[in-house]
Amino acid sequence: MTEKAKGNAQDAARARRKKVNFNKPFIITGAITGVLAAAPYTQLANYVYGIWGLLGGILAAYLLSRQYRYFTPVQGGVLGTFSGFIATGICVGATCGLFFADFPLAARVYPKEVINVAVDYLEPVQIPSVRGHILPIPKSVAERAKGGKWYMWLVVHGLYVLLALVGMSIIGGIVGAKLFGKKITTEQRLAMMQRRKARMDKAAADAAQPPPESAEEERGAEGAAGSDAESAAESSAEGTEEAPGAEPPAEQPPTS
């Protein structure tokens, strides 16, 4: 590999290392938030209007700031939105699994003291339309509560989780951008544009040049050049030597 090819490979490796991965922060935080919103005991925080979504949005902004410091609150809000959608999918998916399996999670997992606290203190502070739709319940209980229209319980639960987690994740992303993000200045933006233009010009110049010769071709060309040089040197040496069989020059008579 030639020096130029090595330099191009090193530039490509540096570019890969500097590339910012915007997907990883909201995927990681969305998965964590969804698991916490669906797991026993930690799901009780859903009564606090999706507090896990708020923390997930802040965490997503923090993870992004570890890779790239310059992002705005609007970008933080977009990051929180995607994190909230992933969390909602995980939480609603877990609820549907328990719902159709007719598994009484509250009765099997939580002690009576926890159920009494949830019913006596946490349920009354919710808006009337979502009371009784936050913790997962079996399908049989939903059929009795909704007069056979069990799907209405799933619709209300899904909308509540969606609005709570996504809405709070957006707020968390904005707050996280304020805490960990840094606004880029005009001078820095111009410098970034100039560096990007220089990289594009360099890539265009490299693409316009012919591909480098292979190692075998280079060695063959060097060997041919060496043979030509040796032949020229031998011919020059033979020309300077005296031809065989030539008579020596006649002696001049001495002058008086």
pLDDT digits (tens, 9 = 90+) for 83-110: 999 999 999 999 999 999 999 888 888 8
Is residue 203 over pLDDT 80? yes
d(CA 37, CA 254): 125
Q: What is the pLDDT of residue 243?
A: 46
pLDDT band at 161 (very low <50, low <70, confident <90, very high): very high
**Residue 52: is it exposed, middle or buried by C-beta count within 10 angstroms (0-12/13-18/19+)?**
buried
Tell me the pLDDT tens digit for each residue of 148-159.
889 999 999 999
Tell me the pLDDT tens digit for each residue of 104-132.
888 888 888 888 888 788 888 888 888 88
DSSP, residue by residue, 91-105: HHHHHHHHHHTT--H
d(CA 111, CA 171): 34
Is residue 31 over pLDDT 90? yes
Give mean pLDDT, residues 236-249.
Answer: 50
Phi, psi of 136 (to 5 degrees): -65, 145
Mean pLDDT, the chain, rounded, equals 80
Among the listed residues 154, 138, 143, the one whose alpha carbon sits nearest the alpha carbon of residue 105: 138
Give mean pLDDT, residues 232-255.
Answer: 51
Give mean pLDDT, residues 62-74.
Answer: 90
Is residue 62 over pLDDT 90? yes
Tokens linked to 242: 């005296």
Q: Residue 64, Cβ neighbours under 10 Å: how many?
A: 26
Is residue 238 over pLDDT 80? no
| pTM of the full structure | 0.68
Identify residue 205 by its one-letter amino acid code.
A
Distances (CA, A) of 19 to 16, 23, 176: 5, 12, 21
